[in-house]
Amino acid sequence: MKELDLDLQNLMEKKKNKYYLGRDISWLSFNYRVLQEAMDKRVPLFERMKFLAIYSSNLDEFFRVRVSNHRNLVRVGKKTKRKLHFDPEVILKSVLDTVNLQQEKFSKIFAKNIIPELESSNINLLHYSDLDDEQCEFINNYFMDNMLPFVQPVLLVKNKIKPFLNNAALYLTMILRNKGQRRSRNQYAIVKIPSDHLPRFVKIPSNDGKHNLIMLDDVVRFMASWLFPGFIIVDSFSVKLSRDAELYIEDEYSGDLIAKIRKSLTKRNVGPAARFVYDREMPQHLLSFLMETFDLEEYDLLPEGRYHNNSDFFKFPTFGMDNLTNDPLPPLPYGPLEKPKNYFSAIRKKDHLIHVPYHSYESTVRFFEEAAKDPNVTHIKIVQYRVAKRSRIMEALISAVKAGKQVTVFIEVKARFDEAANLKWGERLEKAGAKVHYSFPGLKVHSKLALIIRKEKGRSSLYTYLSTGNFHEDTAKIYSDFGLFTHDQKITKEVARVFSILETEKAPKTEFKHLLVGQFNLRPELEQLINNEIIAAKKGKKAKIILKMNSLQDRKMISLLYKASRAGVKIKMIIRGICCLVPGIKGLSDNIQIISIVDRFLEHARVFIFHNHGKEKIYLSSADWMTRNLSHRIETIFPIYDEAVREQIMDFIQIQLDDNVKARWIDGKYSNEYKKDKPEVTNQSQLETYYYVKRNSK
């Protein structure tokens, strides 16, 4: 075994980059898989437009978080870079080059595929130069009645007039010339496109049965000459500035953390530039002027097409054309926990697994609503990471407090982009009388746990719900996650220990024999599970690992998986997003196969299966195999003991491994080739999963 370790170490050191893919380019490769869905003509037209929106929204967040971090590292200079194991300048260039290519592909998809197909469905997205007299009058009136207070036209003057650009807001920059001067110099102006106040797509009345739309951007273009009387509008180009979204409080261990987060949130929208997006047709003289005016560097720039903020495609009017959307897959009721009068008796009898969004989320909501009104329930405890704006679960907790129950909520206020919402719910819960605990400095709590204590026959009885996803009624409609309801004391008692740690902010001598808990036994237990398979393989026995997660980035775990592959362990993985491991390398990872599935639902569940001499160990989790999850968070991995639930999970995973419609192979070339084995049998795993659940619903 030691010889294998030394051999592997030497191999990895020779060609580090070849065997460990950068997480940023790997993430961009995932986002390209999203773009592939917009290209896939098997996907209905409006759904393909939604994938354009998802791609755009993903990219915005990526630049505000990851790219802004690399830019900050570039700014600090060579001394800091020497301490890193990577060159942020090289990564930044690679990211920008990759995104430029993807943006060109995005523009072609929109112009060559989406627009013609819209037209064939009698939906016309008009340019302002296409308007007839009647439509021009409508646009003029629409502008005056609805847009005038918001457009904020500004004539830019070098070194004198420099307006503040709002984060992610759309602007139209213009090249102007004085009407009365033949040889006047170019002047520049900027106008806000008020898509934060008005619909991005403006419906234009039509008498021919067609659906006519115009982008809000083009309404501003149409009215530009009215906004700048005395000037000729030479040309106009749209721009958008995204700002750094990081709060930079992760490692603070002193002071009032909540106060610091509140203060940081007010600064998020005025932070430094993360990305300046501009129309790639913009002439250099205008771009140079804007760079100087808004203090932009070359690595702040990203060329796109004529329109930005393409996440607005989420709101594209559908005109009731259901034939251009996905066939509905309404969530199926989970009878055992939605029908019984005695809810907790049903959980006491056996474990229950729901698989959203195939199953309805009603069982989970009912877990809290039943507890709130049950006179025998004394305590409710929950970890809140992300939660819906309108949440029946949170309302149930408030009702429980009013009913005299002890409600304890741990709120992770460092959940990125949900900080404000979490603080708001925390305030409401505190006002209602719940005991609210907030984030630990320097550590995120990412576990998805809930515990109910109920008096039964004079004793306290524990019920728990453990999930791979958040307590979020909205995302439960589109995120694919597992949730386990159990009364099994082996698990419930250890969940109670986790809550004890969260409530006391101490780490007593706590042992976990069943749960794998971050900051305690999570990483070493995972390593041992892999090593057990390595030992079996070395003895010539069958050894197998199946892993499903969002991201695989941790170097130690990747090295251990390479070691397992070299020992003969057969490894299959389903990874949605970042994957820094390179499968299929002869002598290193030729026993590893990895697929990624991107389809109508977001794959979000984490499942870990170890062969264990034919007695599979099956775990579900909130944790990806990233260094932050394994070393810097409180995560929970929980075992599945109920035989019926184990069989269901194995069936669900096998359906995904057999996908030959939406699965792509993951490799070291970022090829994203579709997996097309067994072409005579079509298996689109999300559809197959839905009908599997439907067949087995009771």
| 93, two tokens | 């260039």
Q: Is 106 left (phi over 0), alpha (psi -120 to 50) or beta?
A: alpha
Considering 478, 504, 530, which residue would you say is the last residue of a domain? 504
Beta-strand runs (E) in 432-495: 435-438, 444-445, 449-456, 459-467, 479-486
Q: Is the peptide bond before 149 cis (omega within 30 degrees of 0)?
A: no
Considering 446, 481, 504, which residue would you say is the last residue of a domain? 504
Q: Which residues make beta-bridge pairs with 664? A: 596, 674
Closest residue by Cα to residue 52 from 82, 21, 31, 73: 31
161 CB-side CA count, 13 A: 9
Environment class of 456 (CB within 10 Å of its CB; exposed 0-12, middle 13-18, buried 19+): exposed
Q: Does 523 lie in the same domain as 430? A: no
Cβ atoms within 10 A of the Cβ of 17, count? 8
**DSSP structural state of residue 146:** I
pLDDT at 193: 95
DSSP string, 401-453: HHTT-EEEEEE-TTSTT-HHHHHHHHHHHHHHT-EEEEPBTTBEE---EEEEE
Q: Does residue 596 lie within any of the structural domains?
A: yes
Q: Which residues make beta-bridge pairs with 275? A: 242
Considering 289, 324, 359, which residue would you say is the last residue of a domain? 324
Q: Does residue 90 lie within any of the structural domains?
A: yes
CA distance 322 to 328: 10
Closest residue by Cα to residue 42 from 356, 327, 330: 327
Q: Does residue 4 lie within any of the structural domains?
A: no
Q: Does residue 483 lie within any of the structural domains?
A: yes
Within the chain, what is the greatest distance between any pair of CA atoms? 95
Q: Does 557 lie in the same domain as 671? A: yes
CA distance 176 to 155: 9
Determine the structural domain holding residue 649 and report its residue range.
516-696
| 326, two tokens | 């996905």
CA distance 188 to 168: 21
Q: Does residue 509 lie within any of the structural domains?
A: no
The CATH number for 589's domain is 3.30.870.10
CA distance 32 to 22: 16
pLDDT at 71: 79
Q: Does 96 lie in the same domain as 241? A: yes
Q: Give the residue carrying structure tokens 């070098």.
A: 158
Q: Does 573 lie in the same domain as 491? A: no
CA distance 53 to 72: 28
CA distance 138 to 102: 36
**DSSP structural state of residue 476:** G
Helices 522-538 and 555-567, axial angle in degrees (round to 10) = 10
Set 446, 472, 604, 611: catalytic member: 446
DSSP string, 209-244: S-EEEEEHHHHHHHTHHHHSTTEEEEEEEEEEEEE-
Q: Does residue 634 lie within any of the structural domains?
A: yes
Closest residue by Cα to residue 327 from 695, 684, 696, 697: 684
Q: Does 373 lie in the same domain as 227? A: no
Is 446 noted as a catalytic residue in this protein?
A: yes
Give this prediction's pTM: 0.91
> Residue 661, SS3?
coil
pLDDT at 680: 81
Q: Does residue 3 lie within any of the structural domains?
A: no
| 689, two tokens | 């999963």
Q: Does 579 lie in the same domain as 617? A: yes
Q: Does 391 lie in the same domain as 250? A: no
Work out whether strand 301-304 and strand 459-467 pair parallel, antiparallel, or are unpaired: unpaired
Q: Does 120 lie in the same domain as 35? A: yes
pLDDT at 283: 96
Total count of domains within the chain: 3
Q: Does 494 lie in the same domain as 628? A: no
Residue 583 in contact with residue 589, Cβ under 8 Å?
A: yes
pLDDT at 10: 47
Q: Does residue 631 lie within any of the structural domains?
A: yes
Q: Does 307 lie in the same domain as 344? A: no
Along the chain (698 residues), what's the average pLDDT of each consecutive run of 10 residues? Answer: 45 59 94 97 97 95 84 68 70 91 94 95 90 92 94 87 85 91 83 94 88 95 92 93 64 52 56 83 95 88 91 94 96 92 94 98 97 97 90 96 96 76 87 90 90 95 97 95 98 96 76 95 97 98 98 97 98 97 96 98 98 97 96 96 98 97 95 88 96 91
> Residue 453, SS3?
strand
The CATH number for 282's domain is 3.30.1840.10
Q: Does 554 lie in the same domain as 441? A: no
Closest residue by Cα to residue 216 from 167, 172, 154, 268: 172
Q: Does 239 lie in the same domain as 159? A: yes
